[in-house]
Structure 1
Amino acid sequence: MASTMSSIRSSFSLLILFIIFFLSFNATTSFNHLIQETCKKSSESDPNISLNFCISSLESDPRSHSVTSLTNLGLISMNLIRTNVSESRVYIEHLLKKTKKKKNTKGSKDRYIREYLKDCLELYSDAITTLEEAIGDYKRKRYVDSNVKVSSVLDASSTCEDGFEEKRGVVSPLTKRNNDTFQLSAIALSIIEMVRQ
């Protein structure tokens, strides 16, 4: 009798483990499918969006592991932009402090880099406020307003990068950050458009 009870407990334990594994697998597959499909549509409709960048960016946010709706995925995408823009702003401040310590001679590249960094700092500072407003609009289902504000963040990253190209020989120290902001904004805009439809 004890052997039968032990066998029943073992079978029951295995059944519970199987159910937990199955539910975990389905949840992962479900979230992964939403992200995969969203990124596929986004990259097909916008040549500025890399499929791999889209997937890896959205999957990098732990909240995406339990997301079940496109609307919530859109909010996650906007929060990713906010994080990127905030971190970029801090990085720009760091670069400004670093270039301030150097002696700037007339005509030196550092002087121009410093000017462009100041412009970028202003653009990214404004972008943080704009993103807060865009997220608020998105939550209130004011998708057109949210779209306009996210578009301005996308433009800010391009404007920042373009500034460095004005002076020959000056290389932007923000290219990757600007490109990431641009793509994250493009992803969010694509999702906003899908949610609107």
Structure 2
Amino acid sequence: MKPISSVSPLILVYLFLTEFHITNTRGLIKKACETSLHKGLCLATIKADRDYKGAKLRDLAQIVPKAATSNATALQKEMEQLLKERAGTSVESALKDCKENYDDAVSQLEKSKQALEHKRYNDVNTWVTAAMNDADSCEQGLKEQADKDSPIAQKTFIFGQLFSNVLAVTNKAAACATRSV
């Protein structure tokens, strides 16, 4: 019986540390997303990434641009498909512009991820804001050319929310980095 009683404290310590780690990660995710205008999407984006468990705030800040880049890449592919489907229509030129804008947005997001790795938070904000402007220009162009709503309006709306989350989480990471210096 003695071996069982000596194992029990070890199990309790393990369970305590595991629960502490899980609770700490949850708290950090909430902290990362607390200033976001789209908290639900921010939390879901981070939790959807397999690397979020045990991540530090700076690591969590890298997850959100990764999701935005993935979204932008999907929109690029959709633009290519729409260009094929709507060749020769009044929206074709706007779709071509959108394709270029999303090419730029993906490039800017890649640059923002590199800047984030080097803790250049102001550069991240610059690149992400530029990418947001590209997405907005695309949507405006489509609205002007199309007789009805943009064919990608809902997706660009979500894209904008992801960008907003990138800025919120990056600013939170920057604020924490400044305090720890």
Is 1:24 aligned to residue 18 of structure 2? yes
Task: Spell out the pairing of 1:47-58 with structure 2 (5 A cutoff).
Answer: 49-58=37-46
Is 1:75 aligned to residue 62 of structure 2? yes
Match of 1:36 in 2: 30
Match of 2:84 in 1: 97
**8 Å contact kept, 2:91–2:146:** no
Is 1:144 aligned to residue 122 of structure 2? yes
**8 Å contact kept, 2:108–2:127:** yes
Is 1:190 aligned to residue 178 of structure 2? no
Overall identity of the aligned pairs, in %: 25
Match of 1:130 in 2: 108
> What whole-Å deviation, never above 9, does each CA across 1:24-81 have from its counterpart, x for those lacking one?
3332222221111222222xxxxxx22211111221111112212x222111111111
> What whole-Å deviation, never above 9, does each CA across 1:123-149 have from its counterpart, x for those lacking one?
111111111212112222222122111
Please list every run of 5 or more consecutive structure 1 residues that lacks an aligned counterpart in the other structure: 43-48, 105-110
CA distance in 2, matches of 1:168, 1:174: 11
**8 Å contact kept, 1:164–1:170:** no
CA distance in 1, matches of 2:15, 2:81: 46
Match of 1:46 in 2: none
TM-score normalised by L of structure 2 = 0.82
Higher-RCO chain (CA-CA 8 Å, sequence separation at least 6): 2
Q: CA deviation at 1:94?
A: 2.1
Q: CA deviation at 1:118?
A: 1.5
In our comparison, the structure showing a higher alpha carbon Rg is 1
CA distance in 1, matches of 2:147, 2:98: 18
Regions of 4+ moved over 6 Å = none
Deviates more, 1:25-34 or 1:81-90: 25-34
CA distance in 2, matches of 1:143, 1:179: 24
Match of 2:178 in 1: none
What is the number of equivalent residue pairs in this alignment?
Answer: 175
CA distance in 2, matches of 1:196, 1:123: 28
RMSD over aligned Cα atoms: 2.3
- When residues 11 and 169 of structure 1 are mapped into structure 2, their CA distance, relative to the original with a 3 A threshold, is farther
- When residues 176 and 26 of structure 1 are mapped into structure 2, their CA distance, relative to the original with a 3 A threshold, is farther
**8 Å contact kept, 2:32–2:61:** no
Please list every run of 5 or more consecutive structure 2 residues that lacks an aligned counterpart in the other structure: 176-181
Match of 2:158 in 1: 180
